[in-house]
Amino acid sequence: MKLHFISSSPILKKFLIFNFIVFVVLGLFTFLYLKAIEPNLVKNRSNHHLKVINNTLGHINRLKIDFTKITMTKFLLDNRFLFQNLDRVQFYDLQSNLLADTNTLDLAQNIFVRKQNVQETAIDKTEEEIADNNSLEINKSTNFNTKKYVKIYSEQYNQNDQLVISDTINNNFYVMTINLVGEEEKRKGYIVVSEIANDILVAVKERNNFILRTVFFVALVIIIFSVFLNQYILKPIRTLVLYTKAIKEKDEKINKHEKYLLREDEVGQLSRSISEMTENLYKRIDIAETFSSDLAHEIRNPLTSLKGAAEVLENTGESDKRKKLIKVIGHDVERIERLITDYSQMLKDEASLSRAKMIKIDLLNVINSVAEDFNSDVLSAKKNITISINNKNLNGFKLNVLGVESKLEQIIANLLENAVSFSPSNGKILVTCNVKKKEAQLVIEDEGPGFNEKNINQVFNRFYSNRPEKFGEHSGLGLNIVKNIIELHGGSIIVSNQSNLSKKGAKVEVLLPIYK
């Protein structure tokens, strides 16, 4: 993974900054949570100690026990059931002197007898000195100086509350709770409950490890997702941006985006859409350049003819010759007018079709409507041309297609107009509707001269016409316009001459996808 991708991708940078902020906030709450785990667990353990202390104090007050070494030692033995689940219970007098300690007794659950300690004692030592030595030995074994904490409690703390102490000694974690025995007005001494609570350290460690594993996992997921985001989404988008900039700046095409064309996801769809739009753009540019050149050439020819005829007309006095020249001028003017009209209409059609919304249309209704108009047309009536529609093979099936109704009408109108124009008087035009391989098929056949077989593949070229006798009546754009509209509807058009030897005429076949 390259590190410089962060600076080159604002989206990725924002994504990482956002995740970093979220990570910091979560880290802060996690830190506070971890700091609160141990105190909460210690507090819970101390609450358990308080229950034992309250029960013990209840027994002491009820039995009215004096706070002496003998009575308190006897009390520990007689009420040992209160302390079975505790490590150590101690009683101190008001001068912080130790009165009784469970460590000097054997309070094991199945024994409950005094420990028989054999100690060597100097003859000159008193009983109090021996007890102090025992206490020192006990404190040495635990290194937990409870007497010091009792003094602190008696001197500094509000003795209506308990003192809770937690510390780690000799790799063991101790929790100690100190409370007053008696009331503020009539104090007797202090009770100390201490317990080895290594399970608290274990719980804290487990939570710490869990949090660390979670943090590591989340960080790993963010890194993996960032690499994925950069490699599979942002990098292709940057490539497409560079591609569009190259097109805008008329720079050389970059082909790095081609590797994304085969992807089936949204990036692939976007790449294909941009590629198709670019191809259409260049195609339109090429068509515009070619068409401008062809239009100038097509207009220049009749203009040259007009100029020559005008010069000859000026210098001739013969009536017949003047009539011929005037007729030529009229044809040239008609030709120019037709070119300009068809060209203007073609541009309007392309613009309107690109903005129009395609809907579901019954093609048969459109054909019937246009054919009815042509049957009542002046030109058709003058030439006595009959247009008939054959839809017997449909058997009631509707020819539904997705398209723009006005443009479908234009397709049929242009084709019928060509057929009427080139049909002889009393001619017949047959329109056959059918279904061919899940496509709506429309076949228009006339009885005219047909197409020139040598040039039949060029009839769709702009400004091309293989019927010179109709010069001036056709601009050569009609079939080209029809072909463009059909292709924009996802269809195709095929032209040919009728295969029946006894019958002449042109045959035009239109295929459009059926829309269900």
**CA nearest 387: which of 362, 366, 370?**
370
Tens digit of each residue's pLDDT (9 = 90 or more) over 430-443: 999 999 888 999 99
Contact predicate 377/420, CB 8 Å: yes
Percent of the chain with pLDDT over 70: 75
CATH superfamily of 357-516: Histidine kinase-like ATPase, C-terminal domain (3.30.565.10)
* Band (250; pLDDT cuts 50, 70, 90): low
357: helix, coil or strand? coil
Contacts 24+ apart (CB under 8 A), 167-173: 168/201, 169/142, 169/143, 169/144, 170/142, 170/143, 172/196, 172/198, 173/197, 173/198, 173/200, 173/201
* Band (317; pLDDT cuts 50, 70, 90): low
Contact predicate 401/440, CB 8 Å: yes
The CA distance from 136 to 129, in Å, is 10
Whether residue 355 has pLDDT greater than 90: no
Whether residue 207 has pLDDT greater than 50: yes
Mean pLDDT is highest, among 155-159, 227-231, 282-286, 509-513, for 509-513
**Element (DSSP H or E) covering residue 41:** helix 10-63
CA diameter of the chain: 171
1 token code pair = 């993974």
What pLDDT was estimated at residue 251?
64
Whether residue 114 has pLDDT greater than 50: no
Whether residue 468 has pLDDT greater than 80: no
Percent of the chain with pLDDT over 90: 5
The CA distance from 135 to 129, in Å, is 10
Per-domain boundaries in the chain: 65-196, 261-355, 357-516
The CA distance from 372 to 488, in Å, is 26
Whether residue 194 has pLDDT greater than 90: no
What are residue 53's phi and psi, to 5 degrees? -60, -45
For the ranges 292-306, 372-386, 421-435, 460-474, which has the lowest average pLDDT? 460-474
Contact predicate 366/409, CB 8 Å: yes
**CA nearest 481: which of 310, 287, 309?**
287
What pLDDT was estimated at residue 511?
93
Whether residue 324 has pLDDT greater than 90: no
Kindly tell me the sign of the dihedral angle through the C-alpha atoms of 468, 473, 478, 479.
negative
Three-state SS sequence of 291-354: HHHHHHHHHHHHHHHHHHHHHHHHHCCCHHHHHHHHHHHHHHHHHHHHHHHHHHHHHHHHHHHH
66: helix, coil or strand? coil
Whether residue 352 has pLDDT greater than 60: yes
Whether residue 239 has pLDDT greater than 50: yes
Could you tell me the pTM of the whole model? 0.47
Chain-centre distance of CA 432, in angstroms? 49
Confirm or reject CATH 3.30.2290.10 for domain 261-355, answering yes or no: no
Whether residue 113 has pLDDT greater than 70: no
- Spell out the residues 6+ positions from residue 263 whose beta carbon is closer than 8 angstroms to its own: 271
What pLDDT was estimated at residue 431?
92
The CA distance from 67 to 100, in Å, is 10
More confident residue, 328 or 173: 173
* Band (492; pLDDT cuts 50, 70, 90): very high
What pLDDT was estimated at residue 161?
77
Tens digit of each residue's pLDDT (9 = 90 or more) over 60-110: 888 888 888 888 888 888 877 777 777 788 999 888 889 988 887 754 434
Whether residue 118 has pLDDT greater than 60: no
CATH code assigned to 65-196: 3.30.450
What pLDDT was estimated at residue 358?
84
* Band (1; pLDDT cuts 50, 70, 90): very low
Give CA separation, 13 vs 16, 21, 27, 267, in Å: 5, 12, 20, 20
Per the prediction, the chain carries an average pLDDT of: 76
| DSSP per-residue codes, 412-465 | HHHHHHHHHHHSPTT-EEEEEEEEETTEEEEEEE--S----GGGGGGTTSTT--
What pLDDT was estimated at residue 470?
47
